[in-house]
Amino acid sequence: MYARVKRVKSNPLYQGMASSADVALVELEAPVTFNNYILPVCVPDPSVVFETGMNCWVAGWGSPSEQDHLPNPRILQKLAVPIIDTPKCNLLYSKDSESSFQPKTIKDDMLCAGFAEGKKDACKGDSGGPLVCLVGQSWLQAGVISWGEGCARRNRPGVYIRVTSHHNWIHRIIPELQFQRASSGGQKRDSRGQQPLSRNFAPFLAAHAILLVLMALLTFL
């Protein structure tokens, strides 16, 4: 399935690689037809807290490692990764830094997920993809794949843009979008049993304004 893009709204605060606000909204030309393999994901309200250690899922068509490209047929990859708190993530990124480089800082609108020992991570080509977590009975998008130092390296977990940090910006662009609150008992659905979408906006975010097929959708095959 292909979805044509009507427009892309980049966050005006974005200042380049590894900066804050590395996120954009993608508006599709037409509504998406949902089925058993293509489903929307909820956008969390700032009241939702993604706890340290919570296992979430990252998905993408990127490289399985720094050296290898995803072979044909290009099957969507997925990986369970635990949330890492910001102080620990900053500590990890301060270790083993090359002398010629300033250690990277995890900003307030960033979220780390992965493993201190490395070995498993998102990689090149996954940027803009989702980090989703099951909270109660709802799948929520906690983050957007933003950057990392290499792929699956020791002390270098993946860094994501924290969706809840950009609630006000998203709300200004899509004022009618329903955000999932922490106290909600489950996903809101319309009369057909589907989660509501705001016009042609899918409730998903993409970093770098990358226009990829199904960038605005969560698809686990």
Residue with tokens 């690689």: 17
Average pLDDT (127-138) is 92
What is the topology classification, in CATH, of domain 5-209? Thrombin, subunit H (2.40.10)
For residue 210, the model assigns a pLDDT of 30
* Structural tokens at position 61: 């068509």
Residue type at 165 in one-letter notation: S
Pairing outcome for strands 158-162 and 110-113: antiparallel
Strands (E), the chain: 5-10, 24-28, 55-60, 77-84, 110-113, 130-135, 138-147, 158-162, 201-206
pLDDT at 198 over 80: no
**pTM of the complete model:** 0.81
Q: In which band, very low, low, confident or very high, does the pLDDT at 183 lie, cut at 50, 70 and 90?
A: low
* All structural domains of the chain with their residue ranges: 5-209
Q: Residue 102 and residue 90: Cα distance in Å, rounded? A: 12
How far does CA 90 lie from the centroid of its chain?
20
